[in-house]
Amino acid sequence: MREKRSEPAFANMRTEAVLPCHDTGSKGLKMKKRPLFLAFFLSLASAGALAMSADERVATQCATCHGDKGQSVSPLFPSLAGQNPEYMVKQLNDFKSGKRNSETMTPQVAELTQEEIAALAAWFAAQPTKQHRVGDEDLLAVGRYIYRKGNSWSGVPACADCHGADGHGTTTLPRLAGQNSRYLLTQLKEFNQRTRTNDNQAMHLVASRLTEMEAKAVADYLSQMP
Ligand code: HEC
Ligand code: HEC
């Protein structure tokens, strides 16, 4: 039930979480008298940011939303623990280039180097995954059917064909097992409406054929997969 009213909380979280990262710490410096000193200070500050290890970067930035071990703090954000690193590298670069639109993630990746992106992806991939508990056994059964067999009456392909029987994906396909149901549902909606802008060809077709009930059922089913 908590999930139904979480839109405003998400909006608040975005602004709160994005702002602190851009504090350059320049308060108190006499800007007029010491422009060179300030420039030097700022270049040091940004060099420091570039050299940040994955541990530090996660702790000071990503953890705000994705959690300190890759289990997200809200069901609206994806958990990244155990996610396939190649897939994550691609998504982070797609956020960087604007190929995947996200007001929230665009500023998060702006200053990341390729080395940092690879290190962050490897860091999150190595974190332990988690299963969610789902109460409705009947809905789970529908989700399992859709996942394994699709819906041949309406032309939904089996998710397992691409995402794998265990939902762990491949190097190019995301792991879905253990992901937050709410995040999965949002992504399915976004693929359908084409607001998830990168590589949505396969998923647009899939999502456009799912009923609301099937989408919810398969998302719940995935969230409890190990
Ligand atoms: C302010 C909250 C916030 C912060 C901080 C944040 N993220 Fe995200 N992240 C999101 C949201 C929201 C999405 C989903 C974006 C969408 O689809 O619109 C996301 C998506 C992602 C994805 C794609 C996951 C998938 O399954 O496709 C990756 C990878 C990611 N973030 C990595 C990071 C990394 C690395 C950091 C730190 C450098 C970070 N994020 C910081 C909120 C955040
Ligand atoms: C024809 C292959 C194919 C089939 C079938 C397929 N998918 Fe996908 N799916 C993809 C690809 C490719 C991506 C990654 C897109 C990208 O790289 O941005 C993806 C991404 C996703 C994502 C985004 C995950 C994330 O972490 O952001 C979700 C959710 C998803 N699929 C759910 C499903 C469900 C549910 C089904 C079955 C109803 C399904 N997919 C069937 C190919 C497929």
Tens-place pLDDT, residues 134-185:
999 999 999 999 999 999 999 999 999 999 999 999 998 999 999 999 999 9
Q: In terms of domains, do 26 and 55 share one?
A: yes
Q: In terms of domains, do 160 and 194 share one?
A: yes
Boundary (domain end) residue, out of 74, 103, 128: 128
First vs last Cα of the chain: how many Å apart?
Answer: 23
Tens-place pLDDT, residues 84-134:
999 999 999 999 999 999 999 999 999 999 999 999 999 999 999 999 999
Q: In terms of domains, do 161 and 76 share one?
A: no
Q: In terms of domains, do 158 and 84 share one?
A: no
Three-state DSSP at 70 gives coil
Check which CATH number belongs to the domain holding 182 and give it: 1.10.760.10
Q: In terms of domains, do 157 and 218 share one?
A: yes
Residue nearest to atom 36 of ligand 2 (CA): 159
Please indicate whether residue 21 or residue 146 has the higher confidence score (pLDDT). Answer: 146
Looking at residue 198, what is its pLDDT? 87
- The fraction of the chain above a pLDDT of 90, given in percent, is 74
Lowest mean pLDDT among 43-57, 62-76, 149-163: 43-57
Distance 3 CA to ligand 1 centre (A): 18
Closest ligand relative to 18 C-alpha: 1
Q: In terms of domains, do 148 and 123 share one?
A: no
Boundary (domain end) residue, out of 94, 128, 162: 128
Looking at residue 149, what is its pLDDT? 98
Specify the ligand 2 atom closest to the Cα of 210.
38
| pTM as predicted | 0.84
Q: In terms of domains, do 48 and 159 share one?
A: no
Q: In terms of domains, do 70 and 168 share one?
A: no
Asked if residues 172 and 215 have their Cβ atoms less than 8 Å apart, the reply is no
Q: Is the model's pLDDT at 34 over the cut of 80?
A: no
Closest ligand relative to 172 C-alpha: 2
Domain that holds residue 176: 137-223
Boundary (domain end) residue, out of 128, 161, 195: 128
Q: In terms of domains, do 122 and 143 share one?
A: no
Please indicate whether residue 114 or residue 30 has the higher confidence score (pLDDT). Answer: 114
Q: In terms of domains, do 39 and 121 share one?
A: yes
Residue nearest to atom 6 of ligand 2 (CA): 159
Mean pLDDT of the chain: 84
Looking at residue 52, what is its pLDDT? 86
Number of domains in the chain: 2
Give φ, ψ of 43 to 5 degrees.
-70, -35
Q: In terms of domains, do 120 and 159 share one?
A: no
| Closest to 113 measured CA to CA, from 183, 28, 51, 186 | 51
* Distance of alpha carbon 133 from alpha carbon 136, whole angstroms: 10
Q: In terms of domains, do 37 and 149 share one?
A: no
